[in-house]
């Protein structure tokens, strides 16, 4: 059924990447529950061999619309308050009088028509985004690992302080060693200078 009525996977991917609207039609006709399907019939998404157009052209009696095999478009949802939204289902019947199966869903938002992605496409997109996030997390962890002799490997996730703040807080390079050398020099000087004995009176 998918190959005959539903369209190929490449056709579905092509429809997912486009949007359609007719500004001239919208200027002349308001979008309502009664005109939404008529507007859809003029779009590039509508299959010209659908049963709806066959009824409009007189090639199919109206009473056979619900039983004939083929493609039928139905209005599944409508909302005209604030932002107009219409949802249209593409249904396929394989045999005369048989059940219908939804093969595509379209939505019309403020006169712009889109094809809604199927569950597999949405799930695949979410999985790809999750993989990107996991890869970024692994790269961050690998960059922040550090080794401390007392504790072994660990991770440091603290953000480095700005250069100006860090410069104020960090002691000057060699300052501690210089202080220690000065202290040692003073101690040696005190040891070398013998105390001066006062003359006896």
38-63 core/surface letters (b: 16 or more CB in 10 A; e: else): ebbbebebbbeebbbbbbeeeebeee
pLDDT tier, 2 (very low <50, low <70, confident <90, very high otherwise): very low
What is the percent of the chain with per-residue pLDDT over 90, rounded to a whole number?
A: 47
Residue 155, both tokens: 């991770």
CA distance 141 to 137: 6
pTM: 0.61
Which pLDDT score is estimated for 1?
37
State the SS3 of the chain.
CHHHHHCCHHHHHHHHCCCECCHHHHHHCCCCCCCHHHHHHCCCCCCCCCHHHHHHCCCCCHHHCCCCCEEEEEEEEEECCCCCEEEEEEEEECCCCCCEEEEEEEEEECCEEEECCCHHHHHHHHHHHHHHHHHHHHHHHHHHEEEECCCEEEECCCCCCCHHHHHHHCCCCCHHHHHHHHHHHHHHHHHHCCCCCCCCC
**Looking at the predicted structure, is the pLDDT value of residue 197 above 80?**
no
**Looking at the predicted structure, is the pLDDT value of residue 61 above 90?**
yes
Cβ atoms within 10 A of the Cβ of 66, count? Answer: 11
**Looking at the predicted structure, is the pLDDT value of residue 101 above 90?**
yes
Tell me the pLDDT tens digit for each residue of 130-185: 998 888 888 877 777 776 666 676 777 676 666 555 555 555 555 666 677 667 76
User: Is 75:55 a contact under the CB 8 Å cutoff?
Assistant: no
Which pLDDT score is estimated for 23?
94
CA distance 160 to 141: 15
CA distance 151 to 165: 29
Which backbone phi and psi does 94 adopt, to 5 degrees? -80, -35
Which pLDDT score is estimated for 124?
82
């Amino acid at each position: 059924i998918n190959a005959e009525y539903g369209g190929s996977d490449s056709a579905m991917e092509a429809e997912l990447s486009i949007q359609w609207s007719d500004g001239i039609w919208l200027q002349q006709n308001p979008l309502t529950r009664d005109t939404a399907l008529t507007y859809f019939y003029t779009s590039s998404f509508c299959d010209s061999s659908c049963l709806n157009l066959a009824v409009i052209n007189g090639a199919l009696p109206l009473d056979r619309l619900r039983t004939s095999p083929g493609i039928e478009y139905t209005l599944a949802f409508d909302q005209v308050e604030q932002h107009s939204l219409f949802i249209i289902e593409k249904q396929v019947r394989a045999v005369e009088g048989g059940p219908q199966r939804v093969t595509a869903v379209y939505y019309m938002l403020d006169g712009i028509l889109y094809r809604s992605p199927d569950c597999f496409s949405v799930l695949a997109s979410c999985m790809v985004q999750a993989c990107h996030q996991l890869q970024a997390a692994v790269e961050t962890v690998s960059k922040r690992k550090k080794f401390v002799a007392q504790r072994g490997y660990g991770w440091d996730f603290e953000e480095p302080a700005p250069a100006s703040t860090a410069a104020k807080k960090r002691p000057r390079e060699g300052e501690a060693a210089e202080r220690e050398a000065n202290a040692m020099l003073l101690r040696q000087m005190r040891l070398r200078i013998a105390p001066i004995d006062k003359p006896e009176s």
